[in-house]
Amino acid sequence: MTPRILSPLVLGLLLIFLIGPFFIIIAASLSAGDTLAFPPQGLSLRWVFKVFTIDSFRDSFAMSMLLAVGGTLAALVLGIPAAYALSRYKLPGAETIRTIVSLPIIVPGIIVGLALLRYLVVPFGFNITLALFFAHTALVLPYAVRVVSASLNNLRSDIEEAAVLLGSSRAGAFFRVVMPNIRGGILAAFILGFVTSFNQVPVSLFLSGPGVRTLPIDMLGYMETTYDPSIAALSALLAFLSIGIVFLAERFLGFSRYV
């Protein structure tokens, strides 16, 4: 086979491998039967409706949303000034700072989770929700710094000096002429961070306790006890939510420019 035929073939197989399970899940979620199965036994939407009646999913969904939104916002509050400092000033040890900021995505989540549990939660009785919040903030921070840095690097720094010479303070120049021009990058960082946090499993696994669970952890737990198609229905709903967000972001922001 020539490479010309080979590469579309490999690409096709890869796509089937990546997207195939997604269609299986959708099919399974539309099953009328009582157990998770493929092909589905009959067609119905009963499991899709069932999802909304399970209390623990509602609570863990709220927790996941809280962590994803709160953690990402916190990461941006820390990350935007960091990205600004890294891109505008010649800092001693800038490379080291960049590496440290990236560590949470390099170190396996399971280690981060274990470390937080063993050295923060267990010895100090640290509030689990707070530990989860800090963990998610740290996990999202690398994305916040990288994506915001990318848009800062595309922005001329002399516009800040121009603003200062027209009477603005340094801080004022940041809010008046820098922020509006990196808005797209900040929003992209937010979406990327949100999705990262929302899908986080390994770290959250260690930091779950009675009444404190994120949605993916709750789903794992649910599957261990109840093997019905509602889990497939919930998975499909979440997938469509993600697709919707990314689609809107691409449509209105040109998301792919930043990631």
What's the closest the beta carbon of residue 73 comes to other proteins, in angstroms?
23
For 75, half-sphere exposure in the C-beta direction (CA atoms, 13 angstrom radius) is: 35
Q: Which is nearer to other proteins, 27 or 159 (CB)?
A: 159
What's the closest the beta carbon of residue 149 comes to other proteins, in angstroms?
18
95 interacts with other proteins by CB under 8 A: no
Q: Is the Cα dihedral 24, 26, 32, 35 positive or negative?
A: positive
Burial per residue of 128-141, b for 16 or more beta-carbon CB atoms within 10 angstroms, e otherwise: beebbbbbbbbbbb
What is the C-alpha R_g of the chain? 22
Beta carbons within 8 Å of 161's beta carbon, 6+ residues apart:
173
**Alpha-carbon distances of 93 from 89, 99, 106, rounded to whole Å:** 11, 10, 19
Q: Which is nearer to other proteins, 156 or 257 (CB)?
A: 156
Does residue 43 contact residue 30 with C-beta atoms inside 8 Å? yes
168 interacts with other proteins by CB under 8 A: yes
> Peptide bond before 92: cis, by omega within 30 degrees of 0?
no
Size of the site for other proteins (CB under 8 A): 18
Binding test (CB under 8 A) with other proteins, winner from 165, 210, 224, 251: 165
Nearest CA to 142 out of 103, 96, 200, 180 is that of 103
What's the closest the beta carbon of residue 78 comes to other proteins, in angstroms?
24
Residues 172-231 that bind other proteins (CB under 8 A): 172, 176-177, 180-181
What's the closest the beta carbon of residue 180 comes to other proteins, in angstroms?
4
- What would the x/- binding string for other proteins be over residues 123 to 162, using CB under 8 A? --------------------------------xx-xx-xx
Structure tokens at 143: 């994305």
Binding test (CB under 8 A) with other proteins, winner from 30, 63, 86, 163: 163
Residues that bind other proteins (CB under 8 A): 155-156, 158-159, 161-169, 172, 176-177, 180-181
